[in-house]
Copies of this chain bind each other. A is one copy, B any other.
Amino acid sequence: MAQRLIVVGGDAAGMAAASQARRRRDRADLEIVVFERGHFTSYSACGIPYWISGLVPEPDALVVREPETFRTSYHMDVRMRHEVTAIDVERREVVARDLTGGGEVRERFDELVYAAGAVPVRPEWARDDIGGVFGMQTLDDGAALRDWLEGDPRPRHAVVVGGGYIGVEMAEALIVRGLTVTLIEQADQPMSTVDPDMAELVVDAMTGIGIQTRAGLRVTGLEERDGRVHTVVTAEGPVPADVVVLGLGVRPNTALAEAAGLPLGPTGAIRVDRRMRVPGLPGFWAAGDCVETLHRVSGLPVHIPLGTHANKQGRVAGINIGGGYATFTGVIGTAVTKVCELEVGRTGLRERDATAAGFEFVSVIAESTSRAGYYPGARPMTVKLIAERPSGRLLGAQIVGWSEAAKRIDTLAVALWNGMTVDEMSALDLGYAPPYAPVWDPVLIAARKAVDAVAASG
């Protein structure tokens, strides 16, 4: 008799796991049942801001694969709009509810992949009964916001609460749509994904495209009129708003896992080993935005919900379920984004992370250009390196620039992944031609400067 794999959550991690398991085990050997409470499988949540802005015209473009594809080509029993409500570890069964009103089912499993993702942080003041307040995590969220933006009366004043990647990208999307946008950030600065000195460059760019940023400001409530949001109330007074987008980050969706006794780690996300197994529960796997993973630089567990990790982790789980051998060996916190034309990349530890992890370090900032200075289109590029002292080992890097900047972080990410010192990095053989780099690449200039700073630090 075939074994049975149940996948809880049919997005990136879940579907990657299911697909890899299927690739190695046919349906006579392994039945695969996927429960997904939403309307979509395998879509690009990261693309939602570009759909809101209109840059991506149709949400269909964000869907990587339709449920039907998984059913027919991968022979999976994909049940959309089904929410798993309980996992019975002892009896190896899940209980799932048909959200379209079809009642409840119990299904047994031999292997279970928990890939329930993350849920947006929603503060108490963001009451569900006030229209015009949107979390931004699923395509359904995006569709609801689009409808609201195109509704009558047409919203004109947006407030984005939270200045992380989603907040900043949504602020830009709303500017593109012609709304006034105020971004409210509780911390001292938006874009705290990079150090304050680098974030400053991003905030300048945001201001340049008309986003009003208000940092160090706490939202305390909303005021409504006829069930529609009308004002965001803050410690410094009211901010008019007929649409509010929440960009306060996400937390791992672990309620179901906790109830079933899956172990959580210090970040609040599910603990897994490097094969994506849940420790102590044979046949249980977890992957994606609901798990924590090792930060290879700090050595600490981190919760970094990101599609690229979710895909890799799901793939690792699926290969192992399929009888292969694969491991997920951790992350280094690489991320890229853009604000208008300004590109931002980061990898490794920020200064505050390095301090928290107990490192002694030096930081340098090197100004350079994306191309040879004389080549048309050369634009400023700022590279920041954080290096341990006295070893010179790279701990983290950030790049902000106006063209060809963001993906240059990959060069630094691979150096970091390999534990290179800034001295070793300064010798790297990187591509040089006038349209692509000065003869000393910005990365090399920064590495040389860091070598000097490490030496000067004693």
Determine whether A187 belongs to the interface, using a CB cutoff of 8 Å to chain B.
Answer: no
Assuming the contacts A418-B418, A436-B407, asked whether A329 and B427 have C-beta atoms less than 8 A apart, the reply is yes
Distance of A372 Cα from B48 Cα, bound (Å)? 12
Asked if B374 and A56 sit within 8 Å, CB to CB, the answer is: yes
Asked if B429 and A334 sit within 8 Å, CB to CB, the answer is: yes
Task: Convert A392-425 into 0s and 1s, putting 1 for each residue whose CB lies closer than 8 angstroms to a CB of B.
Answer: 0000000000001011111101110110100000
Please give, as numbers and ranges, the residues of chain B lying within 8 Å of A56 by CB-CB distance.
Answer: 374-376
Which residue on chain B has the smallest CB distance to residue A62?
B374
Determine whether A161 belongs to the interface, using a CB cutoff of 8 Å to chain B.
Answer: no
Asked if A418 and B427 sit within 8 Å, CB to CB, the answer is: no
Distance of A415 Cα from B430 Cα, bound (Å)? 11
**Which residues does A use to contact B, with CB under 8 Å?**
12, 44, 46-47, 50, 55-56, 61-62, 165, 306-309, 311-312, 328-329, 331-338, 343, 345, 347, 372-376, 404, 406-411, 413-415, 417-418, 420, 427-437, 439-441, 443
Please give, as numbers and ranges, the residues of chain B lying within 8 Å of A345 by CB-CB distance.
Answer: 431
Asked if B307 and A432 sit within 8 Å, CB to CB, the answer is: yes
Please give, as numbers and ranges, the residues of chain B lying within 8 Å of A332 by CB-CB distance.
Answer: 429
Q: Can you name 7 A-B residue pairings with CB atoms under 8 Å?
A: A46-B434, A47-B372, A50-B435, A61-B374, A331-B429, A413-B430, A418-B418
Distance of A439 Cα from B64 Cα, bound (Å)? 10
The minimal Cβ–Cβ distance linking A447 to chain B, given in whole angstroms, is: 11
Distance of A2 Cα from B235 Cα, bound (Å)? 70
Distance of A324 Cα from B334 Cα, bound (Å)? 35
Please give, as numbers and ranges, the residues of chain B lying within 8 Å of A431 by CB-CB distance.
Answer: 334-336, 345, 347, 406-407, 409-410, 413
